[in-house]
Each structure stands twice: as C-alpha cells, then as structure tokens.
Amino acid sequence: MQQEHIVILGGGYGGLRAVEHLAGDPRFRITLIDRHPYHYLQTEAYGYIAGRFDIHDITIDLANWCRGFGRHVAFKQAEITGVDPEAKEVVLEHERIPYDSLIVATGARTNFFAFIKGLRENSYGVKNLQRAFAFRQTFEQLVYTKVEETRDPEPAELQIAIGGAGLSGVEIAAEMADVIEKHHKTLGTNAKKIRITLIDAADTILPGMSSYIVNRTAKRLESLGIRILTNAFIDRVEDGAIHLKDGTALSYRFMIFTGGIIANTLQSDVPLETNRLGQIVPDAYLRLSPHMNVYAVGDCVELKDAKGNLLPPTAQTAEKSAEYVAASIRKRLNGDPVSPFHAKVDGVFVALGGRYAVGELFGIIRVSGYTAYLLKKLITKGYYLGLKLRINTGFKKRTEA
C-alpha cells in the first residue's frame, strides 16, 4: 500500500497533537520537522523561570518521541527556509522534502513592538527556551544578590518589571513572588526587597477572561505583594527605566515582556493573507487556499469560533486545531464530507504561585486555591506522562536497534 506522506512543520503543541492523531493510521507516513531537537512546554515556563522546575521538566526529545510511534514516524532537525506548494516540497537549508499533505505549525514568538523604543534591547521574552533559560539565570542572580546584602541595614529595593498582564505575565509574576515569599526565612529577609510590578495597557489584568478569573487573580497577586498597573502605556524603555506615556518613570533592574506575539512566518511562492500579528488567515477548513493539501494550526494561524470570535493563542487552541486537521485529512482520504473548523475554549486555569491556582471549566465550574492547583496539575501531568511514555518506547527501540 502506498502511504501518503504528511509533513508537519513545528514541534510545538499543535505539531505534536497532529502527529498523535495521524500516527495510528497505516495509510500515513509522517515527518516532523523542527529547528530544535526538543519540544518546549511553554505552559510550564513560569515554574522553570522561578526555579520550581528543572530543564528536564519542560523539554522532550523529539527524535525519541517520534521513534516511539514506529518506523512510519520520523523526526528531522533542520532549519525550514520555505515552502513550494506548486512542487509540493518543503525547502530546507540543504535539501527539499516532498509531501502529499502539509501541516504548518510553526508557532509564534514574542512581539517586541517596534513602536516602543528600546523594548527589544532591554527586555526578555519567554516564548523560546533560550530566553527562558537566560531569564531564570538572571532571576536567581537577583535573589543571590539580595542574600549577599545581609550586612546592609537598609537594603535598596530591587525592581522586576513585567510588561503584559496576560496569562504568561501573571503566572510568571505570581510564581516569582511566591518563591520570594515562602523562602525569605531561609534566603534572608533582604530577599523580600525584590519587588515585582505588572504593567498592562488594558484596563484589567487577563483581558478577555471572566470576571471571576480576573477578580480572584487580582486578589492573589495583591496578597503576594505584586504591584499592578493597568491602563499603563509604555512609551519607551531605557536601561534601568521604563517611561510611560503619562510621563511616569519606573525604575527596574530586570524586565520581561509578555505583552504580545507575532507568528513565525514561512517563505512561500504563493502569497498568503496574514493579519496584524503575522498569522496566516486560512479558509473555513484551515486550508491555505488554493492549495487544498496545505493546512495551518496553532499560534501561526488566525483561529475563530463558530461566532467568528478570535480564539486565544493557547496550547488548548493549538491542539484543537491540530485534531481538526488530522480528522480532515482522514475524511478526505475516506471521501467523507468535512465541516468547517469551529472550536471553543473549554476552560482556563491560571497558576498563581505555589499550590494556588484559579480555574473555570465550561463557563460554569469555578474553582480556586489548592483545588484548582490540583486540577491544573492533573491536566499537566497527564500531558507530560503521555509524552514520557512515548519517549521511553522510542528510547528503547533506539537502544535495541
């Protein structure tokens, strides 16, 4: 039987979910391509940055993971330079890979807005592992600096600024503040002189989320001593100072920016419609028309619900779009009709430091505190366990080969 070759670009949440939902069909041969040899669990970045998790808790080896499915699933580490839809080939640095169906899942990166002078030069993002690693090192250095100041009777405050009070910014701020709060007895009281400020241009933290999530989160952040500035528009960033449009200047030692994303783009011989975030605007079936065998999933594509509302660029949304595309490819081969993509957010959990979280499921189930933490942990552990089991299988196959 001639197998259809499906090439998937990107080893993020969408790319991996597409592999999982296609690998069980013997009609497919799958190649996953990524510039990095690992899958980065971005949803756990907050814990890694604050020192709660280690590097092995947030990375998965893609070669061993793919090998765990069998010989019909392969991983290739390479820089993707473009796509040639007419020739039905993916263009890499030194070769071309032919495909029958292509799934673009290249994700997104931090959008350091060009209109904010000095933002890119003076702040960090956490959309990739390298920046998260640098951020963790810097945070640990700041804590160490405060621990060393034990002889200073009046230690100066050390300011950490976080631009963007969306999900990533809030979770990172809460986790860092919780680490400082819980360990100041052993680290020394000077460690509590590290102050964290959240800055957002919106009129609320977590814009777009329910009032329950927003209110419970705000109370938790305030209890952790985090300063929240909303309706605060950053005009420019200098080394050591953030200038707001209202003339206010905020001093800082270290700044992280989580205030927006921009899609990772691909060079293509066919012009693609994109939105202001650089995301591909697909047809109703997540196809990049007129090339019906090319699809896009995850953060690199504009996704909408049944009412036409934009869906947030989350791991949950990426996985739902990947599941839909995988099912669509199978239906196409079977000759079955395919319905347009319609998805919705089932729920959201916000990790708020230590064993505390806030969550909402299906718009009706609301939990906070330790219960929400356990539910979020259960979801995360289930995902991670599935990856680890597949890796163990792949590693065993490699050693036996």
Can you give 38-58 as a three-state secondary structure string?
Answer: EEECHHHHHHHHCCCCCHHHH
pTM: predicted TM-score of the whole model, two decimal places: 0.90
**379 in Cβ contact with 242 (< 8 Å):** no
pLDDT of 34 above 70: yes
Same domain, 105 and 125: no
Judge whether 241 lies within some domain. yes
Q: pLDDT by residue (tens digit) across 199-208?
A: 999 999 999 8
Which of these three, 257, 280, 309, is where a domain ends? 257
The whole-number pLDDT of residue 292 equals 80
Q: Binning pLDDT at 50, 70 and 90, where does residue 187 land?
A: low
Same domain, 200 and 246: yes
Judge whether 44 lies within some domain. no
Judge whether 177 lies within some domain. yes
Q: Is 270 or 209 the better-scoring residue by pLDDT?
A: 209
Q: In the chain, how many domains are there?
A: 2
Q: If we measure between CA atoms, which residue out of 291, 346, 347, 286 comes closest to residue 322?
A: 286
**43 in Cβ contact with 312 (< 8 Å):** no
CATH of the domain at 214: 3.50.50.60
pLDDT of 150 above 60: no
Output the 3-class SS for the chain.
CCCEEEEEECCCHHHHHHHHHHCCCCCEEEEEEECCCEEECHHHHHHHHCCCCCHHHHEEEHHHHHHCCCCCEEEEECCEEEEECCCCEEEECCCEEECCEEEECCCEEECCCCCCECHHHHCECCCCHHHHHHHHHHHHHHHHHHHHCCCCCCCCCEEEEEECCCHHHHHHHHHHHHHHHHHHHHHCHHHHHEEEEEECCCCCCCCCCCHHHHHHHHHHHHHCCCEEECCCCEEEEECCEEEECCCCEEECCEEEECCCEEECCCCECCCCCECCCCCECCCCCCEECCEEEEEECHHHECCECCCCCECCCCHHHHHHHHHHHHHHHHHHHHCCCCCCCCCCCCEEEEECCCCCEEEEECCCEEEEEHHHHHHHHHHHHHHHHHHHHHHHHHHHHHHHC
Same domain, 24 and 103: yes
pLDDT, mean of residues 113-129: 90
The whole-number pLDDT of residue 398 equals 67
pLDDT, mean of residues 244-251: 95
pLDDT of 186 above 70: no
pLDDT mean across residues, the chain: 89
Residue 249: both structure tokens together? 């200047």
pLDDT, mean of residues 82-104: 94
Same domain, 127 and 240: yes
Same domain, 208 and 123: yes
Judge whether 316 lies within some domain. yes
pLDDT, mean of residues 269-274: 79
Q: pLDDT by residue (tens digit) across 217-236?
A: 999 999 999 999 999 999 99
Same domain, 132 and 213: yes
Point out the least confidently predicted range of 29-38, 135-144, 158-167, 334-343. 135-144
Which of these three, 327, 345, 363, is where a domain ends? 345
CA distances from 103 to 16, 22, 371 (A): 11, 12, 37
The whole-number pLDDT of residue 395 equals 61
Q: Is 397 or 386 the better-scoring residue by pLDDT?
A: 386
Same domain, 248 and 140: yes
pLDDT of 240 above 80: yes
Q: Is 248 or 58 the better-scoring residue by pLDDT?
A: 248
User: How far is Cα 187 from Cα 261, in angstroms, rounded to an integer?
Assistant: 35
Which of these three, 298, 321, 345, is where a domain ends? 345
Same domain, 331 and 281: yes
Q: Binning pLDDT at 50, 70 and 90, where does residue 149 land?
A: low
Same domain, 217 and 149: yes
Same domain, 123 and 231: yes
**Which residues form the domain of 215?**
119-257
Judge whether 333 lies within some domain. yes
Point out the least confidently predicted range of 59-68, 151-160, 358-367. 151-160
pLDDT of 384 above 90: no
Same domain, 246 and 285: no
Judge whether 391 lies within some domain. no
Same domain, 26 and 101: yes
> How many Cβ atoms from other residues are within 10 Å of residue 91's Cβ?
18
The whole-number pLDDT of residue 295 equals 96
Judge whether 183 lies within some domain. yes
Judge whether 227 lies within some domain. yes
The whole-number pLDDT of residue 231 equals 96
Q: Binning pLDDT at 50, 70 and 90, where does residue 283 land?
A: very high
Q: Is the dihedral of CA 12, 79, 111, 305 positive or negative?
A: negative
pLDDT, mean of residues 13-23: 95
The whole-number pLDDT of residue 235 equals 96
